[in-house]
Structure 1
Amino acid sequence: MGHCLSCFENQANADVTASHRNKDDMTEIVASRQVPAVTITDYLQEVPLLPDNDNTVNNCRYASNMNNDNILNTFGETCATEMVNSQKSYTDKVPKPFYQKLPSIPRTMSSLASSEPRVSECKINQLFDQYKDSLEEAILAEGIENLCNDLQLNPDDFKVLVLAWKLNASQMCRFTKTEFIQGLKNMKTDSIKGIQHKLNEVISELNRESEQFKDLYRFTFKFGLDVSTGQRILPSDIAILLWRLVFTNNEPPILDRWLSYLEKNAHIRGIPKDTWYMFLNFCEFVGDDLSSYDDTEAWPSLFDDFVEHENDQVNQNVTKNDIKIQD
């Protein structure tokens, strides 16, 4: 027969062993496809790193070309797919740069922004140094007179009062460096021609905006005070000058009679702030006809005296006319 029983027995044992070995190999392969037997750390240690910047993806591609080992081949393909998907997901989640989200500025708007006049603080400083006093860091009476000459204005011009208002000057005949520089910056000008142009614009606004004029009117009282002495009441002679000045372009009908009354009554030494403020309301209320005045309302007593004086003048004129008619 050629074979003894032991040979068959050995051959049978060898077949059984081979069968078990093949079965175990299949089990390992199936198990490796379900749960990878090789960890990512072990895998990266086994696969050589490439000099490319993206080592992870290249290593996975390198692993996908390893045909000798099915387990690493499967793991490499899975790794490459996961890495690519991960990079794509990360790229989708990364926010775009901020400047890409901003809307483009229309050409008209950009041209407007570029045409906005730029004010040079250096030029304003040079302008201030041109008129400032030699001993004090301020523009005093002589410097203001020179400034008015360059602006082609008289020192008692209404525009000079408007300029002092825009500079927020604390007192007459004095512009401090801070007031001058900050005032011109607010006016957005740094030259003599620029000041002239801005003053014309401001005066046009005053004629249209009553609130603007009221602010100028209130400023005028503070401007006339001598703050160095702590003055709180405006002297009558200064008040008369300032009333004429502030009402240059919109003189109330009652103004001349009011100022004439103050000039004739020397005992009226000064004008308090509440009287100055209320006079603007008084002009709006009575107009040219004092018959609408009600002395029971909360007017300053100086207004009561003025109205009484004016009514007496009217009565005297009526009496004189009646006598002449009878004659």
Structure 2
Amino acid sequence: MGNCFSCFKGPPPPVPSTNGPLEKDKEEIKELTGVLSSAEDINCSPLGTVETQINGNSKGAGIPSFVVGSDNYGSLHRDKTTRTFYPRIPPLSRTSGLSSSETKGREPSESKLNVLFDQYRDSNEDSILADGIERLCNDLSVSPDDFKVLVLAWRLNAEQMCRFTRSEFVNGCRAMRVDSVRAIQAKLPELVADVLKDPEMFKDLYRFTFRFGLDAESGQRILPSDMAICLWRLVFSACEPPILSRWLFFLENHPHVRGIPRDTWNMFLNFSEAVGDDLSSYDDTEAWPSLFDDFVEFENDKLNQNISKDKEEIIKQDCE
């Protein structure tokens, strides 16, 4: 028969012939006899009773069925056993269609997370407090004031500084797909890298930091100035804006600034991006907090004083 798909096609259109009806019948009988002989030779259907669909019509028993090979050329198998191309297709894995992030790791164990939590929980309440957090940080090989610990608290969605409740710890670790100290330790660099390359994630961390520093039990709504300075240093420790050190110097030398409201905290992120390094693009007609106006005025006064001192020094040298 050759390498073809004629077994699956309908009969070709009749070719005009000059032979008479009797001769035509003889030719068809010879062709059919040849087909049957070839089928017996290649043994495509040992039972000879497999039904084959030809142009949607079922052929009855006795018509041989040819099995097409999987060599992409439609060749017929000529071995002595019946084959199909289905076993040649590799089975789909259970993770087929899932992204690498979805298949990476396993489902964390809640029982292991509760046991892990109990290793650090306080003896008097069902929370990990300052001592437990310090021991956890030691096991993680990080300092309690490390940026990674702030990122961890953010991912745990902790409501208060120096306190991780059981639900915060268990639910947060489950969301991170970790259930051991080693797993948390391996996850932290990945979390830090993600938050530093995604501005929206960093903004969310930045705003979380303000709430994290408040004393929730007393209903505190304004961050004390000294706490705000510490948290600004911490949240920007991995990506410090050029203006930060001058801003913190201003706050430290103006004791009348006793607290930082939420709006001032949130807008400082925009302010640090807008003014750059030299404050030349600052527009006092925009709706910035008044504390930013005071800071810019303070910086301009310092600049003018430096210019005056430089002029005095130049005049003094000329006189000499």
Structure 1-normalised TM-score? 0.66
* Letter in structure 2 aligned against 1:109: T
The C-alpha deviation readout for 1:7-63, integer Å capped at 9, x for no partner, is: xxxxxxxxxxxxxxxxxxxxxxxxxxxxxxxxxxxxxxxxxxxxxxxxxxxxxxxxx
Q: CA offsets, 1:241-260, max 9 Å, x none?
A: 00000001110000000001
Give the structure 2 partner of residue 241 of structure 1.
230
Q: How does 1:170-249 map to 2 (within 5 A)?
A: 170-249=159-238
Q: Which residue of 2 aligns with 1:253?
A: 242
Which has the larger share of helix? 1
How far apart, CA to CA, are the structure 2 residues paired with 1:115 and 1:239?
Answer: 38
**Which of 120, 130, 133 lines up with 2:119 in the alignment?**
130
- Give the root-mean-square deviation of aligned CA atoms: 1.7
Match of 1:141 in 2: 130
Letter in 2 for 1:200: P
Give the corresponding residue for 1:119.
Answer: 108
4+ residue segments displaced more than 6 Å: 111-114
Q: Distance in 2 between matches of 1:235 and 1:280?
A: 18
In 2, Cα distance between equivalents of 1:170 and 1:108: 39
Tell whether 2:80 aligns with 1:109.
no
Letter in 1 for 2:286: E
Secondary structure at the counterpart of residue 290 of structure 1:
coil
CA distance in 2, matches of 1:105, 1:214: 45
The within-5 A match list for 1:9-28 is none
Name the SS of the counterpart of 1:183 in structure 2.
Answer: helix
State the distance in 1 between where 2:198 and 2:91 align: 34
For structure 1, which segment, 235-244 or 199-208, has the greater mean C-alpha deviation from structure 2 after superposition?
Answer: 199-208
Task: Determine if contact 2:214/2:222 at 8 Å carries over to the other structure.
Answer: yes
1:273 matched residue in structure 2: 262
Q: Secondary structure at the match of 1:291?
A: coil
**Distance in 1 separating the partners of 2:104 and 2:266:** 41
> How much has 1:312 moved relative to structure 2?
0.4
Q: 1:115 to 1:157 in 2, by over 3 A?
A: closer
Would you say how many aligned residue pairs link Structure 1 and Structure 2? 224
Q: Give the deviation of 1:115 after TM superposition.
A: 5.8
Structure 1 spans left out of the alignment, 5+ residues: 1-103
- Identify unmatched segments of 5+ residues in structure 2: 1-89
Amino acid at match of 2:215: D
Counterpart CA distance in 1 for 2:206 and 2:140 is 23
Residues 117 and 169, structure 2, Cα contact 8 Å, conserved in 1: yes
Q: Which residue of 2 aligns with 1:154?
A: 143
Q: Distance in 1 between matches of 2:271 and 2:246?
A: 13
The structure number with the bigger radius of gyration is 1
> 2:308 aligns to what?
319
Matches of 1:250 and 1:115 in 2, distance apart?
29
Provide closer, same or farther for how the CA distance between residues 114 and 320 of structure 1 changes in structure 2, counting only shifts above 3 A. Answer: closer
The structural deviation recorded for 1:308 is: 0.3
| d(CA) in 1 for partners of 2:103, 2:196 | 30
The CA deviation at 1:118 is 2.0
